[in-house]
Amino acid sequence: MNLTALPAFTDNYIWMLDDGHKALVVDPGDSAPVLAALAARQLTLAAILVTHHHDDHVGGIEALRTHLQGPVYGPQRERIPQPFVPLAHGDHVDALGLSFEVIDVPGHTSGHIAYFTAPAGAAPVLFCGDTLFSGGCGRLFEGTPAQMHHSLSQLAELPADTRVCCAHEYTLSNLKFARAVEPANADLMEYTAWCESRRADGAPTLPSSIERERRVNPFLRCDEPVVARSARAHGAATDEPVAVLATLRQWKNDFR
Binding stretches for Zn ion (CB under 5 A): 54, 56, 130
Q: Which of 18, 27, 52, 112 is catalytic?
A: 52
* Known catalytic membership, residue 168: yes
Question: Cβ 75 to Zn ion, closest distance in Å?
Answer: 12
Q: Which of 18, 27, 104, 130 is catalytic?
A: 130
Question: Cβ 53 to Zn ion, closest distance in Å?
Answer: 8
* Known catalytic membership, residue 52: yes
Nearer to Zn ion, 56 or 213 (CB): 56
* Known catalytic membership, residue 67: no
Nearer to Zn ion, 54 or 252 (CB): 54
CB 245 within 8 A of CB 198: no
d(CA 152, CA 156): 6
Q: Give me the DSSP letters along 19-42.
A: -SSEEEEE--S-SHHHHHHHHHHT
Cis peptide upstream of residue 207 (ω within 30 degrees of 0) = yes
Question: Cβ 29 to Zn ion, closest distance in Å?
Answer: 7
| HSE-up (13 A, CA, CB side) for residue 98 | 26
CB 129 within 8 A of CB 27: yes
Q: Which of 56, 104, 112, 149 is catalytic?
A: 56
Cis peptide upstream of residue 106 (ω within 30 degrees of 0) = no
Question: Cβ 108 to Zn ion, closest distance in Å?
Answer: 6
* Known catalytic membership, residue 130: yes
Q: Which residues are catalytic?
A: 52, 54, 56-57, 108, 130, 168
